[in-house]
Structure 1
């Protein structure tokens, strides 16, 4: 060991020993000024064309001084490649001086802007730090759109953003476009899809006009419209979607609208039409041979579509389109949209379910009891490999579910379940949902003022969420039921209390329970949303 190091170590040891030994107890105490900093996290809606400016005003409290003349204020701003609220000082750079700070939000800014305030005591150089951020809320991305009726008028509302920062609009056509709602009639259904169309067809046949962009469909009893979610611009309205009845001069009486993985079902005045998921929203008649079955329910799985013929009490099906199929009907639809040719009914053929050669069906899909109402068909399991036809009998407290499989190693008709319902559940008004995120045979049901998890195999119904006792839950939808990621386990729930509507967001676990995390059940607006009576909701994101 070097001599100087030895001498230094000995000196330290002597100092420590002396300190321990000569403790006389006569200390001098000096008060130290303390500073507490509070800064709000302002929310700014993403500017579309012009920059926006926001001013941050910290609230300062000191233990030994009044005012803040004894303090210096230095603001640092997050660097472009770093995340807001970073704990790493190297992620920030000098931005401004002074107590207040003005931040410019550029047009098109999408990331939150992180800031770090450094407060320095001029007298002794003591420093205090406080992080904050300017939250950027993208226009309708992400967004829960809300179809509701207020004071006798159908409106499209929106909850723009997420629980940690959002804006609410009662009438987005008025506030965003200064236009009236584009449809007449009572609110019926609402559905959005991040990929409206086919990515595969776009990549291979894009030169033919195929597209795969975000799309949203609004349906009322008197019309339907395909709109662009981010702008709300109407791409196609009723006369460009329901070609047959409008060409015949018939009044629109839309009864059913549903969007699913491989297409859209529209039932108008008893007749069913189907539009393939090719991005064009051109519906054709649902046909079995030369007949037009009465379709009351539809659902799309991994590679097959199921329909329910309520007149003949049986299930029907058709395969989902493969890539080569886009040379046919979808190509004609794209051509019609691009070049304006007249609509010609090409028919969407369906056929009986049938049976695989080596696998025996667990039930007969051609002989469903006549007193059983099939209310919906939903897909769940990995990649939508299972479909569930959901039925009930009037006045009964028992749910009947028919399970179908898309797998080649199973029969078409896998199982039939009956599940006893809680006494408060009215199955005639209950709504159902499923998600690819749940591998077990799980359904979710919105009924009365609650959301339930229905475990088909165990014949068990478990309450997941309860709204106020005077509420009626009207729908429950996953953010994206076609994914196993967090969007597939996050559910939006809408309920009405009289003529007032509310929206709740639920975070679920992989087993379908409410997650044990903060804001697992987040009520938007704390019970004070400006919506009227809600008919439907949908989630939109890009």
Structure 2
């Protein structure tokens, strides 16, 4: 067993220096009372994986009338497993150890913080003082930027653990954490880390626990030959492509993934030209996407807005609508009744619940800005991104091949403002240095205005659709030939700080670099210290970056 002695002598905030509570034992003689301050040092430990770790906690005690501690008795109490962390109820604690030093054994894979309470009594007058503390268990890779890399047409997963104030770079986490190589065959395509995987929290909370619908953090890795979901903190595989893309597996066909995308309403898989969609219910059971006639459209892009889905059918050059799960009834009839049964092996997968992609009729709504069924055949959809007003808007970004003008179609689920579905049409002229063939786009819920963000070459730009204005925000000046290959907000579905913190994956001639930018409410790069952080470590070099994604729990 490894032994960690935690001895922290540092600046302690005023809140920690406040006098603890005490029990008055009834001595009402008028004389000076020996009071004391108790400080329990902050104790953090990275979750052990293979063997238990012993943590030693030594409180700092100061008394007003005594110079030594011979008059004191120390009783440590540990929070009961079913009690709430931070509880001040004595009934929520069980006596753990006696003595000033407290030794806590943290078992492998223990991920929950350990709540403590120290009771200090003065033997001379029976006065008792209490102070709460805890051992904070830091889950591995929480928070972190996961970095998907490519090396010799194979995947490598790296991570940048911590924050701009202190971080560690892992160039290959499967090797360093598990002693294994990247577990998927094929050329890496995409990656997504998601804090809440498993649907609508309000709807799921209404369901009995035996339904088995849970919201958990996940990490998804996708190559052109494979896909799998993992638990981020342990890198344990939950299920692989043979338990996800059921149809081609049943037909004995090799997996050939052309595209993958996850957002708040579900996951799109395009395998060997056929499109499948899995609802955001936590089971990842994809069914085929069909149109109203039962045919299979050629879906090349997908996005969400509100509880709606929008697909682009490249065969008909039109946008189609779908509906996400939204409420107790949907989760019961789909997730519990069908998907859970398939995932548990009770039912054999059948394409019995195809996702229907409907034609959008602009004539049904007054004020439609465009006809979604008649998109200029010269326009190519570069991306569909979700942002603004709590995720009620989806922006389909298009351009002609090698063109310098963007045409952006805005879809809205903002019923309060009585927006039509086809709510906006924008044309924006791009600076000459932006290459639309390789440019990447992003949006965030944090911005209520119609703002998009785009990277090309070594630069980041903001696009204000309402003003048709493109503004350069950042340039990676260390290497003018560098290519920003991807951009993602820490949490694009967060309407506060995490939704305004943007990560860039940058490839230089020699290495990969991750840059984190803190943006303002106006979409500018903040001017405060540490608003721009370049993550790199020469001892743990990052290779060619394919994708990045932020994990926090």
Scaled by the length of structure 2, the TM-score of the pair is 0.75
User: Aligned ranges for residues 295-374 of structure 1 at < 5 Å?
Assistant: 295-323=299-327, 324-331=329-336, 332-345=338-351, 346-355=353-362, 357-374=364-381
Q: In the TM superposition, what is the alpha-carbon distance from 1:364 to its structure 2 partner?
A: 0.6
Distance 1:444 1:305 in 2: 21
Contact 1:137 1:166 survives alignment (8 Å): no
Match of 1:200 among 194, 199, 202: 202
Q: Residue by residue, what CA displacement relative to the aligned partner does 1:361-401 show, whole Å, maximum 9, x if unpaired?
A: 11110011111111211111111111100111111111111
For the pair shown, the structure with the greater C-alpha radius of gyration is: 1
Give me the whole-angstrom Cα distance separating, in 2, the residues matched to 1:171 and 1:526. Answer: 13
- Which residue in the other structure is 1:242 paired with? 245
1:443 correspondence with 2:444: no
CA distance in 1, matches of 2:268, 2:240: 16
Alpha-carbon distance in structure 1 between the residues aligned to 2:410 and 2:112: 43
Match of 1:224 in 2: 227
Q: Are 2:139 and 2:233, in contact at CA under 8 Å, matched by a contact in 1?
A: no
SS at match of 1:482: coil
1:403 to 410, 415, 440: 410
Say whether the 8 Å CA contact 2:154–2:188 is kept in structure 1: no
> Partners in 1 of 2:515 and 2:43 — Cα distance?
23
| Conserved 8 A contact 1:490-1:508 | yes
Aligned residue pairs, count: 444
Q: C-alpha offsets along residues 488-533 of structure 1, whole Å, 9 cap, x if unaligned?
A: 1001110101362110111000110001111111001267751211
Structure 1 consecutive aligned stretches of length 4 or more whose deviation exceeds 6 Å: 41-44
What is the Cα-based RMSD across aligned positions, in Å? 2.9
Q: Distance in 2 between the 1:407 and 1:311 partners?
A: 29
**Is 1:267 the counterpart of 2:270 in the alignment?**
yes
1:481 CA drift (Å): 0.7
**In 2 relative to 1, CA 152–338 (structure 1 residues): closer, same or farther, beyond 3 Å?**
closer
Q: Secondary structure at the match of 1:350?
A: strand
Q: Is the 8 A contact 1:380 1:435 kept in 2?
A: yes
- 1:358 Cα deviation after fit: 4.8
Aligned twin of 1:489: 500
1:329 positional shift:
2.4
SS, match of residue 202 in structure 1: helix
1:352, 1:471 → 2: CA distance? 42
**Where do residues 51-450 of structure 1 align in structure 2 (5 Å cutoff)?**
51=53, 138-198=139-199, 199-205=201-207, 206-289=209-292, 290-323=294-327, 324-331=329-336, 332-345=338-351, 346-355=353-362, 357-408=364-415, 409-450=418-459
Distance 2:492 2:203 in 1: 22
Q: Distance in 2 between matches of 1:165 and 1:104?
A: 26
CA drift of 1:440 comes to: 0.5
Aligned-residue offset at 1:402: 0.5
Structure 1: tracts of 5 or more residues without a match: 1-40, 55-79, 83-93, 97-102, 112-133
Deviates more, 1:431-440 or 1:316-325: 316-325
Q: Evaluate the alpha carbon distance shift between residue 221 and residue 109 of structure 1 in structure 2; reply closer, same or farther with a 3 A threshold.
A: closer
Structure-1 separation of matches of 2:419 and 2:391: 14
Give yes or no for contact 1:391–1:399 (8 Å, CA) kept in 2: yes
Task: Provide the rounded CA distance (Å) in 2 between the counterparts of 1:447 and 1:430.
Answer: 5
Q: Are the structure 2 counterparts of residues 237 and 465 from structure 1 closer, same or farther at C-alpha, using a change threshold of 3 Å?
A: same
Q: Does 1:507 align with 2:518?
A: yes
CA contact (8 A) 2:153 2:188 kept: no
CA distance in 2, matches of 1:395, 1:109: 50
**Deviation at residue 152 of structure 1 after TM alignment:** 4.4
Q: Is the Cα–Cα contact under 8 Å of residues 296 and 375 in structure 1 kept in the other structure? A: no
Q: CA deviation at 1:105?
A: 9.7
Contact 2:305 2:411 in 1 (8 A): no
Preserved CA contact (<8 Å) 1:298 1:377: yes
* 1:302 to partner: Cα distance: 1.5
- In structure 1, what is the equivalent of residue 117 of structure 2? none
